[in-house]
Structure 1
Amino acid sequence: MNLFTGESSDAFFGGEVPPLVRRLLDQARTAAPHEMESLLWTAQVSAPECLPIYYLLYKFHARLRQYEQAERAALKGVSVAARQAALRDDWRAVAAGDADFAAPGPARFWLFSLKALAFIYLRSHRADASRELVEKLRELDPDQGLGGEVIAALLQGSDNAR
């Protein structure tokens, strides 16, 4: 599924995937959840530099409310994307001029994965960690092209509910 158009697509968010990984991911599409998890992590081990796998992993685990595993996958994706985009290891030290975060590629995937982490932290009741990431999203994505304001609104709502 294309994230931006909602249309059915054969493309994977984050870039291309090697043929072996594509076969595993195609199998995962129709597998039961426990089989899907095994196939996705097998794909990750088979191609640890392949960014789309991390997206699929953290979405899979977050959907099942397995936030610890979702965090693990997102952090791995952030690390791999940072290396590929020549960004600093510590996301707090990354500045707006370090990469073109609006262009498709590892830097944009890195930023999108930070947004995913903010959501995972919010859902796992770590509002302060989520808030810190939302602030970094505001800094690096001032036009809010990735939708970080949605998480900011959720955080505001949870603050108001107290």
Structure 2
Amino acid sequence: MNLVTGIESTDLFGGEVPPAARRLIDAARGAAHDEAGAALWTTVLAFPQCLPPYYLLYKFHASRGELKLAEEVACKALAVAAQQASLARDWRTVQPDDADFSKPGPARFWLFTLKALAFISVRRGEHAAARALVGKLRALDPEDRLGFGVVEALLEHSRSR
């Protein structure tokens, strides 16, 4: 599903992507790696308060195995979403009643990005960091609506190897 125009985008992030940002994202689709990366970075830099392009950019880098870059983008996304959702900048201090993480919008995006950081940590072999992130996800999303259980299973599998 198209994250920017489809239902999934609204369910996770809420709000609309500005038309100019959408044009840049569309330019990234099907483009060569360097051109796609440049278009996504341009989108994030030109629209720093628009959350979906951050997701696309950290997913882009993660899918290419560029985990350090994916982590850097996800951390920027987390900071922007925290500001928009009025959450603490330090994810470790966020509490379940600080926001409604079940509704589309910045708080839900923030939680989704926390899950992405946990996944990136597992892939980078940073098991202690991944465990801490999964623990926070469990506290904030005890029903596992965003699927942190998948990351938790990957973490357990990677530890048993």
Give TM-score scaled by structure 1 length: 0.92
SS of the residue aligned with 2:89?
coil
1:24-60 Cα shifts (integer Å, max 9, x gaps)? 0011112111100000000111100000011000100
Structure 1 residue 10 corresponds to structure 2 residue 5 = yes
Aligned length: 156
Q: Once superposed, which parts of structure 1, at least 4 consecutive aligned residues long, lie more than 3 Å away?
A: none
1:114 CA drift (Å): 0.3
Query: Aligned-residue CA RMSD in angstroms?
Result: 1.4
Distance 2:110 2:29 in 1: 24
Q: Which residue of 2 aligns with 1:6?
A: none
Distance 1:87 1:72 in 2: 19
What is the rounded CA distance, in whole Å, between the counterparts of 2:91 and 2:65 in structure 1? 25
User: Aligned partners of 1:28 and 1:91: how far apart in 2?
Assistant: 31
Give the TM-score, by structure 2 length.
Answer: 0.93
In structure 2, the gaps of 5 or more residues are none
More contact order relative to length (CA 8 Å, sep ≥ 6): 2
2:133 alignment partner in structure 1: 133
- C-alpha distance in 2, partners of 1:72/1:22? 22
Q: How far did residue 2 of structure 1 move?
A: 5.3
How does 1:82-161 map onto structure 2 within 5 Å? 82-161=82-161
Question: What secondary structure does 1:54 align onto?
Answer: helix
Runs of 5+ consecutive residues of structure 1 not aligned to the other structure? 4-8
**SS of aligned partner of 1:44:** helix
